[in-house]
Copies of this chain bind each other. A is one copy, B any other.
Amino acid sequence: MAQLKTNPGNYFEDFKLGQSIRHATPRTITEGDVALYMSLYGPRFAVQSSDEFARAIGYPRSPVDDLLAFHVVFGKTVPDISLNAIANLGYAECRFEAPVYPGDSITTVSEVIGLKENSNKETGTVYVRSSGRNQRGEVVIQYARWVMVRKRDKAAVCTESHVPKLADRVDPGALNLAAIPTFGPGSYDWVLAGSPHRWGDYEVGERIDHVDGMTVEEAEHQMATRLYQNTAKVHFNQHTESKGRFGKRIIYGGVVISLARALSFNGLGNAFKVAAINGGRHVAPLFAGDTVYCWSEILEKADLAGRPDIGALRTRLVAVKNRDAGGYPFKTGGGDYAEGVILDLDTWLILPR
């Protein structure tokens, strides 16, 4: 009989501590991807929108949106890491290193950094550190992620157990500033950028309602998720999902992150770069027809050594659905997330000073 030719994915007992997994499919990012990203989310950050603007501050041309690169890197890991996952539990230590430009080809490798079987012997948590590299072998993005994965066989004995220590937040001193050009005096055009608010204008504790809302359609999230070659079945198959938990397709969480980031332009228009994701949680699923709003809170401000031209803001970006963000919906008195919250994302953003 012929061997199985399709990819069954890895089960919990297939992972080994220290294992390195090179992921298919390498991907050249192009101007076509950038245009689709714009049409799907509507970002307006000038650095990523205009080659001329980017050149004026020292980039060779517009880098692609940090999150477009993130989704491509992430998408590669799905067939090997999370095809048999039940839940995406968290992210940490995500750093955006070298900028990605159209024409760059990205490959992803993951290292298994933790394993912990659950007491029910049916599942376990897999911790990986994934790195996307360009054609010169430079790391463009790296991040840790942990997911709950099914065992193929409940009886399989899993002896390895290690829970890695992951930082609560990326140390701002560890951000890769070499990837950000030094802005000469007057090189950043605040009017063209669309906001007069510099790094110094934001205060810790300040909250910003990003005001605008955007409704998501099935065609949009499917096109986005395929663009990243993310193959998770729940996003694409109404025939099976109609019999599933929600009766409908679940939108890839990365779509929510990108939408919220694009909406956050209205209030954080000069936060031209996501430097790190300190942690993130997809609190509830988003479905087609839902409308996404979001708000931000400034958690922390950081000077950056040797860089008087820029500063970092640590922000919590909260996305909600089908309610506006005017009241900054977040958690209830009991500590649970409030009705409608779908995303709680902790990031370091870079702004000019």
The reply on A10 being an interface residue by CB < 8 A is no
Q: Is A26 a contact partner of B107 (Cβ separation < 8 A)?
A: no
Interface: A268 (CB within 8 A): yes
Interface size counted on chain A using CB atoms at 8 A: 84
| Chain multiplicity (copies) | 3
Q: In the complex, how many angstroms separate the beta carbon of A135 from the nearest chain B beta carbon?
A: 5
Q: Is there a chain B Cβ closer than 8 Å to A167's Cβ?
A: no
Is A322 part of the binding interface, using a Cβ–Cβ cutoff of 8 Å?
yes
Other-chain contact of A107, B192, B212, B238 (Cβ < 8 Å)? B192
Would you call B227 and A25 a contact (CB within 8 A)?
Answer: no
**A195 contacts the other chain (CB 8 A):** yes
With beta carbons under 8 angstroms apart, the residue of B51, B219, B239 that contacts A220 is B219
Q: CB < 8 Å: which of B51, B203, B210, B218 contacts A6?
A: B210
A41-49, A122-130, A299-307 - interface stretch: A41-49
Q: Is A62 an interface residue (CB 8 A)?
A: yes
Contact with B along A169-203 (1 / 0, CB 8 A): 00000000000000000000001111101000111
A residues 239-262 in Cβ contact with B at 8 Å: 239-240, 249
Among the stretches A31-39, A84-92, A150-158, A276-284, the one at the interface with B is A31-39
Interface flags, A44-87, vs B, CB<8A=1, else 0: 11100111110000000010000000000000000100000000
Apart from the given pairs A35-B35, A107-B192, A238-B289, 17 other A-B contacts in the complex at a CB distance below 8 Å: A3-B201, A5-B201, A5-B202, A6-B267, A24-B46, A24-B193, A26-B50, A27-B50, A32-B32, A44-B229, A52-B105, A52-B135, A79-B194, A212-B236, A219-B220, A220-B223, A239-B291
Binding site for B on A (CB under 8 A): 2-3, 5-7, 22, 24-28, 30-36, 38-42, 44-46, 49-53, 62, 79, 102-103, 105, 107, 135, 191-195, 197, 201-203, 206, 208-215, 217-220, 222-224, 226-227, 229, 231, 233, 236-240, 249, 266-269, 289, 291, 293, 322-324
